[in-house]
A and B are shown apart, each in its own frame.
Chain A
């Protein structure tokens, strides 16, 4: 089955720790995205990548980092510099940028 997977589904982190969220797709999509959603809020773009080995900052990139070494993988690291990391993190992909995006099931990160 083709799709987007994210792991883990739930993640708990102590303050001051870095944590990496996984996102994998087997749809052969060129573009991938990371969003953050807070309760009752819309989606905010963290980083996006239009092609392998290239990525751009979104609207709220501070405290986050990404890599895109393989077409199918776009991991997100939440660093200790991110002031309020507790949120629902969603990964998406699209065949090219600017068209329909398809989402993974998300990771809920809680900082203790």
Chain B
């Protein structure tokens, strides 16, 4: 089992839609979690950090379920500019501070 797993997509949604991505992780001792977005041929950029049960920033909400070992990202009222690949990232603990990156979920928002 991979340490961090994401549905690769692509998710094709119309503008204004609500879309949710799930990410599962294998290490139950994982301490912190992050969502990044990566545009085509660009570097990843931090979208949100999750240190407790969840976090919300405008149209974006991240929720953590430690019992089931998954973290979700919800995007409300999708914009064309939300089209990107979303990376789920986990700090698995006891690995020298390394972060583990998921393969990413591709989102395409259409007019």
Residue positions of A touching B, CB distance < 8 A? 31, 35, 41-43, 45, 48, 50, 56, 58, 88, 90, 96-106
Contact = CB atoms under 8 A, between A and B. Distances in A.
B32 A90 contact: no
Contacts of A104: 43
8 contacts: A41-B103, A42-B103, A48-B97, A97-B97, A98-B32, A99-B32, A101-B99, A103-B45
A94 B43 CA distance: 15
B44 A43 contact: yes
Contact of A103 (B31, B32, B41, B43): B43
Nearest to B102: A42
- Which of A100, A104, A106 has most B Cβ within 10 Å? A100
Interface of B: 31-32, 34, 41-46, 49, 87, 91, 93, 96-99, 101-104
Given A42-B102, A106-B43, A96 B34 contact: no
A56 B96 contact: yes
Nearest to A103: B43
Contacts of B102: 42
Contacts of A102: 46
B43 A105 contact: yes
B97 A90 contact: no
B98 A45 contact: yes
Nearest to A102: B46
Contacts of B97: 31, 48, 50, 96-98
A45 B42 CA distance: 17
Nearest to A101: B99
A98 B91 contact: yes
A100 B49 contact: yes
B31 A98 contact: yes
Contacts of A101: 46, 99
A88 B89 CA distance: 19
Contacts of A98: 31-32, 91, 93, 97-99
A109 B69 CA distance: 37
A48 B96 CA distance: 10
